[in-house]
A and B are shown apart, each in its own frame.
Chain A
């Protein structure tokens, strides 16, 4: 979409890597998932409190003594750490604070909390891996968000977001069945964009089920301004130049007229203006495709949150009834607002209408407070449990057209924040310094198909800086260095089945070894 705003050199570079064209249909690895879901945690989280990345002996140097935040237990000792499963090869297994009561995981008294038990309840360890110590290249929220999404730290996108790359890659195979290639459900702190990619890879916003009808329906009974304008005819789909694309498109008379206009102005100005016109044409085609597919009816009929309601996990017994809620203390805090967005994300994935979904959680971790560490630990672990529930819902749903496989098998879920937050350190008075500022190193969780489960790769030193990990660079050479955001994005793309030459991230990129199966 932004092709016309890029420099000629950038456009040429993207084109060289085939990014201005749809992904070429080819055989992806058998385990490669066909969907990507990115869950973004706003404000910068503290992953060391979710999945302990270092040696157990480091706990006392980096984690304050156990206490509580708003009635929720926080912080831990090394004796409380447990592995979520047996080690998978020469990698550290997922290791967490067992804050739950093994005899009764729902117990919320006597210093217990069910937070993070979801990974055990749903048996997720085999499909979850965490990359630690990722250098985001900046400590500015906006630039770090862009860095997390596309692998290049910058105030504006210099490369397409990973969702857009995946959507573009999968478009060749799913063009006729997935009319919403890339959907942004909620966009707290920013929208990932399809910088330089065709318009079918650009995000469509679908904030909630309530927003769908006036936005995506051509039913005159729902939107009266379609009265008399909704009759569609199937015609061969052509591009802006009038060249056939080999597919059919159902358009109204009005839409057909609109599709004929951009092509009239091609070749009249610069190549970048032509790019704008071609993108406009592509976007108009996309709108017709969405309207013709009646995605509103499909999504309204599709259950998003299902198993979490019909088979409510017992360990949630002491929380409110909403499937994505949690509580601190008796009623010091209730999380009650996440169902609409996570339900929408689940509907989109389960309905098979889309290849890539972006959804953000809505609690902002940008606390800048003396209580920031407690906040990060309590809410961060609770929100990771919400992630586990989301993964559990996917795991309980059969993948459409893939007998024996679950939606989680056929989806890559990436959970990330824009960066971390400054680490605690022992103070001379015997307690802990608790700085609460932006910190450019963070962790990324990968879950789902083709993920080498129960592994943690990379780590931190005691100041919270990333340490070298093994990578394979884009030219195939092995290297050992601190992973960067570009490498996290690359690893996600490789898990999705893309080869190095099928995408491009300015500044170089490599795959972190150990996170992908095989």
Chain B
């Protein structure tokens, strides 16, 4: 449930050349609080900051980290801000508490109007819609790296392993023989037929006591993990070797999660007995839920339909297990999952 994590860190950085020394912005303030806005978009960013920035200053949706991040990640993404339909923009709906999906309201807890009413923010929803209506044209996209840009990075190998296990309702016990009570302190004996992936440096024991299937640690390295004891650094690229491993891992682990008794991580609204002929609505609902779980974003109807028509339906002809393995694996290979 990474998407529910809300970061409250405030970065103590002054605005360039405008502050004499380090200051502590009030909670919810952006890093450059106190600096004059650099235009209308920046004015809006600073006005929204007291309600939004405490969670969106860092993390995977750092819209308030800088003006560039605000513009690249929020303002000029039609998913959030639609100039042709200000009232229907997801940003407005969220602030009204009317957004469809798992996150109907932002900020969570209190509606935005409460912030306006008690003066914590001064920007009203009407003013916000007026800004959207008159949204300035986007300038040229930055063509080089910038410390203030909204950037992405690939997940590291250890993040991939831990988050995928968590999202799919899997654990070490699904891969490692636990018949001995001391299994956690000894060489891991990998269960037959399981595609285990595990860092060498995390395995228990010393002196050759690691994992019975050394391919498990080799796969960790191909995913981009470091082998510290041998001086090999992590690979920050997402090359064919990483993808080769992830393609196998995504299908093997998704299938294992579907087969695991009592595990509802993948199949929440349907069972393997449900087929598209009679349960298409539920199947699409499950795709939407799984997509939100894996990618941290409420999928659009078009996204759900695409997964349903291009992946689920063709594979359902084989079996529903195959179809759900395909849908699940497609989400693991998605750019948003890889750069979560």
Binding site for B on A (CB under 8 A): 1-2, 5-8, 11, 141-142, 156, 184, 187-191, 193-194, 199-200, 202-205, 207, 210-211, 214-216, 223-229, 253-254, 256-258, 260-262, 265, 267-273, 276-277, 279-280, 283-284, 286-287, 290-291
Contact = CB atoms under 8 A, between A and B. Distances in A.
B335 A261 contact: yes
Contacts of B130: none
27 contacts: A2-B237, A6-B145, A8-B145, A142-B233, A156-B233, A191-B235, A193-B235, A203-B239, A204-B240, A205-B241, A215-B215, A215-B244, A223-B248, A225-B251, A225-B256, A228-B315, A228-B322, A229-B315, A229-B329, A262-B335, A267-B141, A272-B145, A273-B151, A276-B152, A276-B154, A283-B243, A284-B243
Contacts of A227: 318, 322
Given A276-B339, A280-B338, A287 B247 contact: yes
A202 to B, nearest CB: 3
Contacts of B329: 229, 254
B319 interface: yes
Nearest to B154: A276
B179 interface: no
Given A229-B325, A265-B335, A268-B72, A258 B330 contact: yes
Contacts of B311: 253-254, 257
A6 B219 CA distance: 27
Contacts of B326: 229, 253-254
A225 B152 CA distance: 30
B330 A257 contact: yes
Given A190-B233, A205-B222, 13 more contacts: A7-B144, A189-B232, A190-B232, A205-B218, A211-B218, A223-B248, A227-B322, A229-B315, A253-B315, A254-B326, A270-B144, A277-B335, A283-B240
B319 A271 contact: no
B248 A215 contact: yes
Interface of B: 72-73, 76-77, 141-146, 149-152, 154, 193, 195, 215, 218-219, 221-222, 230-233, 235-245, 247-248, 251-252, 254-256, 306-307, 310-311, 314-315, 318-319, 321-322, 325-326, 329-330, 333-335, 338-339
A200 B241 CA distance: 10
Given A204-B241, A228-B322, A280-B338, A268 B77 contact: yes
Contacts of B306: 257
A8 B243 contact: no
Contacts of B146: 270
A7 B254 CA distance: 37
Contacts, number: 178
B310 A256 contact: yes
Nearest to A276: B152
B333 A284 contact: yes
Contact of A258 (B142, B150, B252, B333): B333
A504 B242 CA distance: 26
Main secondary structure of the interface of B (DSSP, over half): helix
A123 B199 CA distance: 45
B294 to A, nearest CB: 13
B314 A142 contact: no
Nearest to B237: A1
A286 B142 contact: no
A216 B252 contact: no
B315 A283 contact: no
A142 B231 contact: yes
Contacts of B141: 267, 269-271
Contacts of B237: 1-2, 5, 193-194, 202, 279
Contact of A210 (B215, B221, B232, B245): B215
Given A257-B306, A258-B330, A273-B152, A287 B244 contact: yes
Contacts of B334: 258, 261
Contacts of B318: 227-228
A283 B233 contact: no
Given A254-B315, A287-B243, A287-B247, A8 B144 contact: yes
Contacts of B315: 228-229, 253-254
A257 B242 contact: no
Given A204-B241, A258-B330, A271 B310 contact: no
7 residue pairs, one from A and one from B, having the closest CB atoms: A8-B144, A202-B239, A228-B322, A228-B318, A1-B237, A225-B252, A271-B143
Contacts of B76: 268
B193 A224 contact: yes
A16 B321 CA distance: 49
A199 B215 contact: no
Contact of B248 (A225, A257, A267, A279): A225
Nearest to B327: A254
A287 B249 CA distance: 13
Interface centre among B73, B145, B238, B240 (most CB of A within 10 A): B240
Contacts of B254: 225
A207 B218 contact: yes
Nearest to B79: A268
Given A1-B238, A5-B236, A211-B218, A269 B72 contact: yes
A283 B322 CA distance: 24
A224 B194 CA distance: 10
